Structure 1
Amino acid sequence: MGEFWPVPDVLAYLSGAWRAERVVRNLASGDEGRFLGTVEFGPLEDGEGLLQRESGDFTWRGVTRPAERTLRFLRDQEGTADVRFADGRFFHGLDLRSGRHVADHPCSADLYQGEFTVRDEDHWRVVWRVRGPAKDLELVTDHTRADGA
């Protein structure tokens, strides 16, 4: 089957609770931070997608703070999704039918390049590479399905 695990329906796969561990590296300075938390994918009110709620603690330069974010995953075509920010702006598409997806998101002067890979039914990874005039970052997030999900 190869290195990636195909996902015929991204919303069905993501639905439920996940543990998230993220390493954030500033490639210019060498600084490294960590996020530990949970990601809940629950149904949107209209039933046409999922609401992602991520919450946990982010440690950067020895200081730990609470961190959270919300995204909307809207049903697209044949098992794929459009990912949108909480305010409805488009972020990127997501097609995991091959078990892997690459996405770009221009943000002002920065470019976010993401790679999504599915290892098996309980593990997936996102790697974002962020480049811009003042940014040179790599964010690697490993997701593990929470017990009982």
Structure 2
Amino acid sequence: MDEFWPVPDALVYLAGSWRVERSVRDLAGGDTGVFTGATVFRPLDGGGLLHHESGTFTWQGIPRPAERTLRFLPGPTPGTADVRFADGRPFHDLDLTTGRHTADHPCSADLYRGEFTVRDTDHWRTVWRVAGPAKDLLLTTDYGRVG
């Protein structure tokens, strides 16, 4: 049985630098890939955190640089976050007060369903299941605090 570590404030918990390891599996075609890199959560002017991830994504044996930026803004209730893409579009909500959270993000005809679990003060995981006519993927990401 999995045990979850409650987090009273998601933004306080996430702040700082994390090692990232992500496995990507195409459930339809069987291909697999791996992302390795780092994520840094830096304070944003006006509150919240700027999330910047960078590293190398290897797909079908070919490594490529990869990066993304998200905004983690204060959520509607204390301790929660409103996660947005870099351009401000909504992505998902995040509430880690129980140590576990599930969020959905519709993207065209596909549905992204994310499960977030906090293991302890320095380790957390996301598992995104992407299903629909364009994609059939499982993305598992493990984060370990740096420093």
Shift of 1:110: 0.4
What SS does the aligned partner of 2:12 have?
helix
Aligned to 1:99: 99
Aligned to 1:19: 19
Aligned to 1:56: 55
**AA paired with 2:16?**
G
| Distance of 2:106 and 2:33 partners within structure 1 | 23
Runs of 4+ residues over 6 Å off in structure 1? none
| Distance of 2:95 and 2:52 partners within structure 1 | 20
| Distance of 1:82 and 1:130 partners within structure 2 | 20
Which 5+ residue runs of structure 1 have no aligned equivalent?
Answer: none
| Distance of 2:101 and 2:71 partners within structure 1 | 18
Aligned to 1:69: 68
Which 5+ residue runs of structure 2 have no aligned equivalent?
Answer: none
Shift of 1:28: 0.7
Shift of 1:138: 0.2
2:97 pairs with 1:89: no
Shift of 1:131: 0.5
What SS does the aligned partner of 2:105 have?
strand
**AA paired with 1:70?**
T
What SS does the aligned partner of 1:11 have?
helix
Superposed CA RMSD: 0.7
| Distance of 2:104 and 2:9 partners within structure 1 | 21
Shift of 1:12: 0.4
**AA paired with 2:82?**
D
What SS does the aligned partner of 1:12 have?
helix
| Distance of 2:90 and 2:62 partners within structure 1 | 32
Give the % identical residues.
70
Matches within 5 A, 1:1-149: 3-46=3-46, 48-76=47-75, 77-146=77-146, 148=147
| Distance of 2:137 and 2:123 partners within structure 1 | 23
| Distance of 2:26 and 2:71 partners within structure 1 | 27
| Distance of 2:45 and 2:93 partners within structure 1 | 21
| Distance of 1:81 and 1:22 partners within structure 2 | 22
Shift of 1:45: 1.7
| Distance of 2:116 and 2:57 partners within structure 1 | 21
